[in-house]
């Protein structure tokens, strides 16, 4: 927008080849593409949330397995100690 210094009123320079219908059509393609992109982002967020939930469940399962294995190791060590003391 250019201002005419004398009149202090803004003047708008428009290209004579300006076609508002064409601009509307082109911009609508952009809007449609961006809306589809937002839908894709929403789907990705949903997938990541599901993956995070699964990973938290898996993490809990692995922690339980570690606890059980440590218990087995402790029991085996205790059994080994008791067996040694009985053989003497």
Place of tokens 């949330």: 49
- Is 32 in contact with 40 (CB distance < 8 Å)? no
pTM, to two decimals: 0.57
Question: Can you give the residue ranges of every domain in the chain?
Answer: 20-87
Which segments of 1-88 are extended strands (E)? 2-3, 10-11
DSSP state of 6: T
Cα–Cα distance for residue pair 37/43, rounded to 1 Å = 10
Q: What are phi and psi of 10, to 5 degrees?
A: -75, 140
Q: Which of 7-11, 67-71, 83-87 has the lowest mean pLDDT?
A: 7-11
Please determine, for residue 29, whether its predicted confidence score (pLDDT) is greater than 80: yes
Higher pLDDT, 8 or 57: 57
């Amino acid at each position: 927008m250019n201002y005419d210094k004398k009149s202090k009123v803004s003047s708008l320079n428009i290209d004579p080849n300006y076609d508002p219908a064409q601009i509307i059509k082109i911009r609508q393609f952009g809007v449609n593409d961006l809306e589809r992109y937002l839908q894709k982002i929403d789907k990705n967020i949903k997938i990541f949330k599901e993956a995070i939930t699964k990973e938290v469940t898996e993490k809990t399962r692995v922690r339980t397995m570690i606890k059980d294995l440590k218990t087995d190791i402790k029991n085996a060590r205790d059994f080994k100690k008791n067996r040694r003391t009985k053989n003497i």
